[in-house]
Each structure stands twice: as structure tokens, then as C-alpha cells.
């Protein structure tokens, strides 16, 4: 079965500005501000045109459609990640750890970006630079061939698998806050028939949710990196 032809904003040169002071970079910055304020559902070419004091149709000179605009803002997300070149760190785990921590931080700062992951191609210069640095780090560690890609995807999957549910939880709590004590009491009642779970729940003390999530992320990240390092010695 043949799908539709693949296209991307990165497959062509950016068009020059038609209006003095107006550029694709300015449009992307304004789109980022709108997304941070209203999320993916709040972004439209009409709203963006109004924010820039320009007609929506004039924006199509710079981007063919909303999908292309999202490709551009998605690459800005990658550009905010701090990933030191492996040639400078001298140890692959430093680059990998910095990438993981920074990716989580950026997604939490721009929660709407979680909705673009897996749907929007990461073909921009920032995304490719991050991918290249991570690839070189794993190659320098001793991974070879496709294992370089597998190691990078394993690390990325851990970050996304822990951070995207965190984004969803934060958004749900922002929309309809729940009392944490009543939630804990409800979990205790639900766990009554599972003594092992109930014991762990009662052993754990109520703590700041953000702090707990950071500790869990740090533990999981160390475990993933330990596992990848162990593969190099087998």
C-alpha cells in the first residue's frame, strides 16, 4: 500500500522576508509564546497572525501550513537541550546523562511538546545536532553498528516514558486539583487486598511530588546507564 508523499519544511530553503523586520525566526518565536500560553489546541494561523499584527495568509509565505510551523517550533525544543559534545566530556555517560536530564527539563518547560513527539519529524538542525552528539557518545563508549541507535533509543524511550505521564499528571492537576491526602487514603483502601503494596505505601512518607519524581527519574536514569554500560563488558 502506497502512502502519501513525505514532505518537510527542512527539505527546502527558507524564503526571504517580505516585510522589513519580519522573518521566519520571528514567526517561530511568536508561535512558541502562543504554545506556552495556550498549548497545541490554542495555536492557529489566525491567532498567530493576530499576535504578529499580520494576516494569517501572509504567514503562508514563510510556512506552507500549520504542520510546517510545528516542525519549526519542534526543532526549537531540541535547540534548548544542553548536550555537551562527547569530545569535551571524555566520558560517554556524562553526555548521555546531560541529554536525559535536559530533555526532561525542556519537555516539562514546554509541555505541549509532548504532543509532537512521534508525530513530527525531527529533521531540523538542532535535532540532528543532538542526535549526532548522542550517537558519537555511544560510539565512543564502544557500541557498534545498529547498537549505537539501539542505545540512543533506549535512553530516549526512558526519558519519554517517565516524562510524558508526568506532563499529563501536571496538566490534570492544573485543570482539576485533587487533595493529595484524600488520594493517598483512596489508594490505601484500594490496596487493602494487596498486603505487599499496602506495606510499601505505609512505609513511604508523604513528600513533595516534584521532589519524588526527580528522585525516581535519577534512579531510573542511573539504572538505564548502568545497564547500557554492563552490555559493553559482556
Distance, CA of 124 to chain centre: 15
- Split at pLDDT 50, 70, 90, the class of 207 is low
Tell me the whole-structure pTM to 2 decimals: 0.89
Q: Name, in order, each residue with C-beta under 8 angstroms of 166's C-beta and a sequence gap of 6 or more.
A: 108, 213
Look at residue 20 and tell me whether its pLDDT is greater than 60.
Answer: no
What is the rounded average pLDDT of the residues 34-63?
Answer: 89
What are the cell numbers at 18?
517580505
Contact 65, 56 (CB under 8 A): no
Determine the Cα–Cα distance for residues 135 and 144; give it in Å rounded to an integer: 10
3-state DSSP assignment of residue 92: helix
3-state DSSP assignment of residue 121: coil
pLDDT (0 to 100) of residue 1: 59
CA distances (Å), origin 224, targets 81, 83, 96, 109, 157: 20, 18, 10, 24, 10
Chain segment 127-166, per-residue pLDDT in tens: 999 999 999 999 999 999 999 999 999 999 999 999 999 9
Chain segment 102-119, per-residue pLDDT in tens: 999 999 999 999 999 999
Determine the Cα–Cα distance for residues 14 and 65; give it in Å rounded to an integer: 14
* Domains located in the chain, CATH noted: 9-76 (1.10.10.60), 80-231 (1.10.357.10)
Contact 76, 126 (CB under 8 A): yes
pLDDT (0 to 100) of residue 232: 92
Of the candidates 127, 128, 130, 158, the one whose C-alpha atom is nearest the C-alpha of residue 225 is 158
Of the candidates 125, 150, 24, the one whose C-alpha atom is nearest the C-alpha of residue 74 is 125
- Burial of 196 per CB tally in 10 Å (0-12, 13-18, 19+): exposed
- Burial of 35 per CB tally in 10 Å (0-12, 13-18, 19+): buried
Amino acid at each position: 500500500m502506497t502512502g502519501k508523499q513525505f514532505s518537510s519544511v527542512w527539505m527546502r530553503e527558507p524564503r526571504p522576508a517580505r516585510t522589513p523586520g519580519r522573518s521566519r525566526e520571528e514567526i517561530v518565536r511568536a508561535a512558541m509564546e502562543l504554545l506556552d500560553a495556550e498549548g497545541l489546541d490554542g495555536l492557529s494561523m489566525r491567532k498567530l497572525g493576530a499576535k504578529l499584527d499580520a494576516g494569517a495568509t501572509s504567514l503562508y509565505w514563510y510556512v506552507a501550513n500549520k504542520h510546517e510551523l510545528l516542525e519549526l517550533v519542534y526543532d526549537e525544543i531540541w535547540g534548548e537541550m544542553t548536550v555537551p559534545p562527547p569530545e569535551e566530556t571524555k566520558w560517554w555517560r556524562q553526555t548521555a546523562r546531560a541529554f536525559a536530564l535536559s530533555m526532561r527539563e525542556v519537555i516539562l518547560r514546554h509541555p505541549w511538546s509532548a504532543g509532537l513527539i512521534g508525530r513530527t519529524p525531527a529533521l531540523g538542525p538542532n535535532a540532528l545536532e543532538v542526535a549526532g552528539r548522542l550517537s558519537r557518545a555511544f560510539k565512543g563508549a564502544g557500541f557498534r553498528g545498529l547498537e549505537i541507535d539501539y542505545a540512543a533509543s533506549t535512553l530516549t524511550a526512558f526519558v519519554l516514558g517517565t516524562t510524558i505521564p508526568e506532563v499529563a499528571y501536571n496538566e490534570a492537576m492544573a485543570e482539576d486539583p485533587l487533595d493529595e491526602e484524600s488520594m493517598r487514603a483512596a489508594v490505601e483502601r484500594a490496596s487493602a487486598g494487596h498486603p505487599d503494596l499496602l506495606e510499601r505505601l505505609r512505609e513511604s512518607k508523604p513528600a513533595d511530588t516534584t521532589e519524588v519524581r526527580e528522585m525516581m527519574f535519577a534512579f531510573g536514569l542511573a539504572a538505564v546507564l548502568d545497564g547500557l554500560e554492563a552490555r559493553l563488558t559482556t
